[in-house]
A = this chain, B = another copy of it.
């Protein structure tokens, strides 16, 4: 299995790296700097933000792309349901700043459904001229968590780098997630199946 592209994953997330490794194509990683995640277009729909941020991350890779390079950027956000607000039924949950915020986030998720959205952006040099984005959405249902479970998780796993305050691949995902609707790997941070489908559309994979 091979690709004519040199894939560059513009991300320093170890989870995203692990997920792209699961696809089995060679790639390198690059760290991005100077992405201003608060500078969003006025009126953008919340669920469109991850794809927009993936595109902003792509722009933050300022080195010119070689002819055969394909840059992959992605952004994952967690949205809690706000059933009483019909104008904005989904609210972004950021990363918890401290223990209290992490516990509060998990209390909000407990016994409820939330949505995880990962936006992906692919960009190649002007010669190939690829610039396309997509996103994948997964619904996640937590069981009713006890205070002891929440505190045990926060104190042992310190989920301060995680949107929504949890990692599906950690203890809380094993004991607390009743069901999902959508792609599991999307919840982890990268929609591997949709990415693969995109590569196939670009004729970017072949089986020797």
Residues of A within 8 A of B (CB): 1, 19, 22-24, 138, 143, 148-149, 151-152, 168, 171, 174-185, 192-193, 196-197, 207
Number of copies: 2
Give CA–CA (A182, B174) in the complex, Å: 13
A196 lies within 8 A of B182 (CB): no
List chain B residues, Cβ under 8 A from A179: 138, 181-183
Give CA–CA (A138, B171) in the complex, Å: 20
Can you give 16 contacting A-B residue pairs, CB < 8 Å? Answer: A1-B152, A23-B171, A23-B175, A138-B179, A143-B197, A152-B207, A168-B184, A175-B192, A175-B193, A175-B196, A179-B181, A179-B183, A180-B180, A180-B182, A181-B181, A184-B184
Nearest CB in chain B to that of A179: its residue = B182
B180 lies within 8 A of A193 (CB): no
List chain B residues, Cβ under 8 A from A192: 174-175
Give CA–CA (A196, B138) in the complex, Å: 23
Nearest-CB distance from A140 to chain B (Å)?
10
A196 lies within 8 A of B174 (CB): yes
A180 lies within 8 A of B184 (CB): yes
List chain B residues, Cβ under 8 A from A207: 148-149, 151-152
A178 lies within 8 A of B152 (CB): no
Nearest-CB distance from A90 to chain B (Å)?
19
Nearest CB in chain B to that of A206: its residue = B148
B177 lies within 8 A of A183 (CB): yes
With A184-B184, A207-B148 already in contact, the answer to whether A193 and B177 are too (CB < 8 A) is: yes
Contact of A24 among B171, B180, B184, B185 (CB under 8 A): B171
Nearest-CB distance from A39 to chain B (Å)?
32
B181 lies within 8 A of A193 (CB): no
B193 lies within 8 A of A183 (CB): no
List chain B residues, Cβ under 8 A from A185: 174
Interface centre among A24, A143, A177, A179 (most CB of B within 10 A): A179
Give CA–CA (A199, B6) in the complex, Å: 49
